[in-house]
Structure 1
Amino acid sequence: MGKAERTRQFIIEQSAPVFNVKGLAATAMSDVMGITKMAKGGLYGHFESKEDLSRAVVDYNISLLISKVSQVVAGAETAREKLFAMLDLFSTPVQFPVEGGCPLLNFGAESDDTNPEIKKKVRETILGAQKRIANIILDGIEKGEFKPNFDSKTFAIKTMTIIEGGTLIGRVLGSNSQMKLMMDMLKKEIEEELI
């Protein structure tokens, strides 16, 4: 990675939490200048516009989230353990695994009526996450861990909906207690599907 690429990556990594906390519209280039200690001209030497930086930051935050999920899933052996590890990762919305909260929730809510490109990225990520959850279940069925009639698609949709809704509620209330109830409910449902 050359110096220009390293500087570009530095700008993205430093400003990603700011965008995730303040939002795409509310984050100003002066915020980015403050966090990176770079002049405006230096920033625009790496990004054509704030929108260009915004797209890079959304990609970075989403990639960071996917990476954290991949790490916990890779550390588990059985399908049950993989699902539990994923649920545990999201069980504390107040201490969300990505600084500033869930980028899918934050950027999705902000862009649903204003930015079709970012909305599409968030949509694809949600659908990808649902597919990943469903595939873990299907793998568990194939290996004889889960009952053959475990509805992988419905469970995946339910899980993502609970994670996103529970994250919003937990962060607004400043409490992890309601999400813990939801995660325990999902874990119980997984246990009931074991052979």
Structure 2
Amino acid sequence: MAKGEETRQFIIDKAAPIFNTKGIAATSMSDIMEATKLSKGSMYVHFENKEVLACAAVDHNMKVLGVKLQAEMSKSKTAKGELFAYIDFFSNPVTPPIIGGCPLLNFGTEADDTNPIVKEKINGGIKYNQQLLGSIIAKGIANGEFNPNWNASDFATVMFAMMEGGHLISRMSGNNDKMQIIVKTLKKIIEENTL
């Protein structure tokens, strides 16, 4: 990696948790300069403006989260195990897998009316997660692991929505009580559809 690319990645690595915690609007270039110990001039050599850096931070946060999630899910040998691993990975929003919590929720609620570029990135992440869950269920059906009448797409939507809703409730309340109800409910539905 060239020196310029290394510096650019260093800035993204430092900026991503700040944007994910404070939000795009509340994060200033001064916050990033403080975290990186770089001058304003150095920052603008690599990023035209805060919006360009914010988009790179959104991508970075989603990538880091995805890599960590895939690592957990890859430990499972069955479709049911993969679904449980997905649920377990997100089951503790008070202590989330990445700093600041779920980037889909954080950036999605901020960008829905204000930032069409970030909104599209988050929408893509939502679709990807629903397709991932749906494909795991479809694989489980094909393997004879799940009820062949189980609607993979519908459950993927419900599961994703419940997990994101549980994340919001838990972060707002400061505890995981409600998320544990969601975890228990989702696992019960999966068990009921396991052959």
Indicate yes or no: 2:43 matched with 1:43: yes
Instruction: Report the equivalent of 2:15.
Output: 15
Instruction: Report the equivalent of 2:57.
Output: 57
**Residues in 1 aligned to 2:56 and 2:120: alpha-carbon distance in whole angstroms:** 14
Indicate yes or no: 2:90 matched with 1:70: no
Shift of 1:58: 0.6
Identity of aligned residues (%): 49
Instruction: Report the equivalent of 2:81.
Output: 81
**Residues in 2 aligned to 1:52 and 1:77: alpha-carbon distance in whole angstroms:** 40
Shift of 1:98: 1.3
Q: Which runs of 5+ in 2 are unaligned?
A: none
**Residues in 2 aligned to 1:53 and 1:15: alpha-carbon distance in whole angstroms:** 8
Aligned residue pairs, count: 195
Instruction: Report the equivalent of 2:99.
Output: 99
TM-score, normalising length from structure 2? Answer: 0.98
Shift of 1:82: 0.3
Per-residue Cα deviation, 1:142-169 (whole angstroms, up to 9, x for no partner)? 0000010111111100111011111111
Q: Which runs of 5+ in 1 are unaligned?
A: none
Q: 1:94-133 alignment to 2 at 5 Å?
A: 94-133=94-133
Per-residue Cα deviation, 1:107-129 (whole angstroms, up to 9, x for no partner)? 00000001111101100110110
Indicate yes or no: 2:176 matched with 1:176: yes
Per-residue Cα deviation, 1:27-53 (whole angstroms, up to 9, x for no partner)? 000000000111110111111111110
Shift of 1:67: 1.2
RMSD between superposed Cα atoms in Å: 0.7
AA aligned to 2:87 is L
Instruction: Report the equivalent of 1:144.
Output: 144
Shift of 1:177: 1.3
AA aligned to 2:66 is I
**Residues in 2 aligned to 1:54 and 1:166: alpha-carbon distance in whole angstroms:** 26
Shift of 1:135: 0.4
Shift of 1:70: 1.1
**Residues in 2 aligned to 1:64 and 1:180: alpha-carbon distance in whole angstroms:** 24
**Residues in 2 aligned to 1:138 and 1:64: alpha-carbon distance in whole angstroms:** 26
Shift of 1:73: 1.3
Runs of 4+ in 1 over 6 A off after TM superposition: none
